[in-house]
Every structure is written in C-alpha cells, then in structure tokens.
Structure 1
Amino acid sequence: MSGRQGGKLKPLKAKKKQGNEFEDEEDIAFKAKQKAAEAARKEMASKAAKGGPLVGGGIKKSGKK
C-alpha cells in the first residue's frame, strides 16, 4: 500500500515578492519620518526613566501671592 496518492496534486508555493519594488519617494520619506519619530520617542522614554527634566523651559511661578 502506498497511502493516499490519489487525487489532484497541490501546486508548489511561489516565492514571496519583495515589497520594496514599487516604492517611490513619498514612501521612502514616510518611512524615514517614522524612524525619526520612533527614535525621538525612545529618547524621551529614556529621559523619563532617568527622572530628568523632559523640557527645559515653561511657565515658572513667582514667590509672590
């Protein structure tokens, strides 16, 4: 007995196409902007974890009432 060999054979899977074949300048610029935003977010998270000030300026209250 050779098992289940009857019926239609399944076709072989084709290789996946590369997604970057059809990228234009807008896509490249958008991805660069996303990477920059991600880097800035990580930097802010590291500053917050250290406990340091997140911003240098802002409204300061005076001692007078």
Structure 2
Amino acid sequence: TGVAGPGGGTAQKPVGLVHIAVMRMGGSPLHERCTFGKRARSEIREMTVARAFEMLSALA
C-alpha cells in the first residue's frame, strides 16, 4: 500500500511512500517501508514490484 502519485500525497504520506509486506506460510511477516521519492507513477509501481520480488526471494 502507499501513494504512487502523481497526486494524493500528504506530509505524513508523501508521494513515493510504499509499504510492502511478504510472509512465508508459518513464518514471520517481513515488512519494509520504502520511500521512492517524487517520481512518475509508473516508475514507483515498477520499483515497488521489483522490491517485493527481492523480498520474496529472500524468503526462499
């Protein structure tokens, strides 16, 4: 979840702020707060997916 932009950001939840959580069955959840900065919406989405896959790989 987060704010991919271009609008909708606030001081507490700026554009580029994304929370990612992954968990392996029976394991503990892994949560990361990512701040990608003010970028194009498509770039924030791509960076979010890339980071989520990295986090999933770490659980394997």
TM bucket, shorter chain:
0.3 to 0.5
Higher helix share: 1
Higher gyration radius (CA): 1
Higher strand share: 2
Larger RCO, structures 1/2 (Cα 8 Å, 6+ apart): 2
Q: TM-score of the superposition, structure 2-length normalised?
A: 0.36
Q: TM-score of the superposition, structure 1-length normalised?
A: 0.34
